[in-house]
Amino acid sequence: MGKTIGIISIKGGVGKTSCTANIGASLASQFGKKVLLVDGNFSAPNLAMHFGIFDYESTIQDALLRKTPIQRTIHKYSENLHLIPASVEGRAITDHYRLKDCLDPLKEFYDIVLIDSSPNLHGEILSTMIASDELYVVTSPDYPTLSTTIRAVKLAKQRNTPIKGLIVNKIRNKGFELSLEEIEEATETLVLGVVPDDLKMLEAVSKTAPVTSHAPKSNPSIEINKIAAYMSNSEYKDPRFLSKFKSLFLKKDLRKDEVNRVINKE
Ligand SMILES: Nc1ncnc2c1ncn2[C@@H]1O[C@H](COP(=O)(O)OP(=O)(O)OP(=O)(O)O)[C@@H](O)[C@H]1O
Ligand SMILES: [Mg+2]
C-alpha cells in the first residue's frame, strides 16, 4: 500500500510543480519506485508539460466530476512513472473530499502518489491536503515566501495533515538570503531538502525532460535525488567529488537538511 504525498505552498511560482515532476521522476528512475503524479492545480495546471505530454483524452477533472473512471485518466509516461493531468479549461471543484475519494483506491498500485498542489488557498490546496497522508511545503529563502509558508504550515496543522518538512527551493547562497535555521525557527518545521536556483532546471523544462535525466550530474539533480531517497527510504550517496573531499578531508559540518534527513529517517 503506497502513500500519498502533497507538495504544497500558498505562494505561486516557488517551485511546487518543478519539485513534484523532478522528485517523481527521480523516485521512478533512480530508486525503482512505482509513482503516480497527479496535477492538483485545477485552475492553472502544467505538470504534464514538464514531461512533454500535451495530448490526453481525459483529466483529473473528468474523474472528479464523475465523467470518467479515475483509472482511465492515468497517462503512462514510463513503466514506473504514471501521471494524471488536469485540464486547463477545468471547472472549479467544490467538493474538496472528492480528490481523496478518487486517489485512495489507487494507492494499492503505487509506492508513492505525489500531488502537485495549486497555491489557491482554501480551495484547491484543501483538496490536496485532504487527499494527502503527508505534506512537503515548498518555500524559498526570502521573507515574502516565508510569511506564506508559515500560513501553509498553520493551515496543515489545523487540518491535522502531517507535514514531513520543507523543501527550500531556488537557493542562491547569497548573504541576504534567509538561512535554513531561520526558516526552520519561523515555521517550526524541518528543512528536508534544498534545491539550488539553477539554469539546468529551466533548460530541462525547455527540453520537456526531468532535470535528473537532462542533466543527471548537475547540482539540482543531486539534491532532488537526495529528497527522493529520503521520501522512499532509499540509500543515496552524493556522487560529487567535492562532497566526498569535504567529508574526508575538511571535516565540514553537514548542512541542516542533511542532518535532518539522517536523524529523521524512518
Ligand atoms: N530550482 C530552480 N532553479 C531555477 N528555476 C526554477 C527552480 N525551480 C523552479 N524554477 C522555475 O520557476 C518557475 C516556477 O516554478 P513552478 O512552476 O515549479 O512553480 P509552482 O510553485 O508550481 O508555481 P504555481 O504556483 O504557479 O503552480 C518555473 O519557470 C520553473 O522552471
Ligand atoms: Mg505549479
pLDDT exceeds 80 at position 167:
yes
Please tell me the pTM assigned to this model.
0.96
CB 209 within 8 A of CB 52: yes
Rank 20-24, 56-60, 252-256 by mean pLDDT and report only the highest: 20-24
Of 90, 93, 96, 100, the C-alpha closest to 44 is 90
For 92, phi and psi rounded to 5 degrees?
-65, 140
User: How confident is the model at residue 129, as a pLDDT?
Assistant: 96
At residue 87 the predicted structure's pLDDT band, cuts being 50, 70 and 90, is very high
Question: Of all protein residues, whose CA lies closest to atom 14 belonging to ligand 1?
Answer: 13
Share of the chain above pLDDT 70, in %: 96
Cα–ligand 1 centroid distance for 210 (angstroms) = 13
Cα–ligand 2 centroid distance for 71 (angstroms) = 23
User: How confident is the model at residue 163, as a pLDDT?
Assistant: 97
Dihedral (CA of 258, 174, 150, 4) sign: negative
Give tens-digit pLDDT for 182-241. Answer: 999 999 999 999 999 999 999 999 999 999 999 999 999 999 999 999 999 999 988 887
- Dist CA 222 CA 238 (whole Å): 7
Question: Of all protein residues, whose CA lies closest to atom 9 belonging to ligand 1?
Answer: 15
75-79: list long-range contacts, CB under 8 Å, 24+ apart: 75/48, 77/51, 77/53, 78/28, 78/29
CATH number for 117:
3.40.50.300
Q: How many separate domains does the chain show?
A: 1
Ligand minimally distant from the alpha carbon of residue 119 = 1
- Dist CA 236 CA 173 (whole Å): 24
C-alpha to C-alpha distances, 58 to 70, 74, 117, 252, nearest whole angstrom: 9, 8, 19, 51
- Dist CA 211 CA 207 (whole Å): 9
**Looking up cell 542533466, which residue turns up?**
215
Give tens-digit pLDDT for 109-122. Answer: 999 999 999 998 87
Cα–ligand 2 centroid distance for 241 (angstroms) = 33
Query: For residue 224, what are the domain limits?
Result: 3-263
- Please report the atom of ligand 1 found closest to the CA of residue 138: 21
At residue 250 the predicted structure's pLDDT band, cuts being 50, 70 and 90, is low
Mutate to test the pocket of ligand 1, among 17, 18, 26 (most ligand atoms within 8 A of CB): 18
- Dist CA 144 CA 142 (whole Å): 6
- Dist CA 95 CA 263 (whole Å): 38
User: How confident is the model at residue 249, as a pLDDT?
Assistant: 67
Mean pLDDT of 72-89: 96
pLDDT exceeds 90 at position 242:
no
At residue 266 the predicted structure's pLDDT band, cuts being 50, 70 and 90, is low
Q: What angle do CA 238, 241, 247 make, to 5 degrees?
A: 70
pLDDT exceeds 90 at position 243:
no
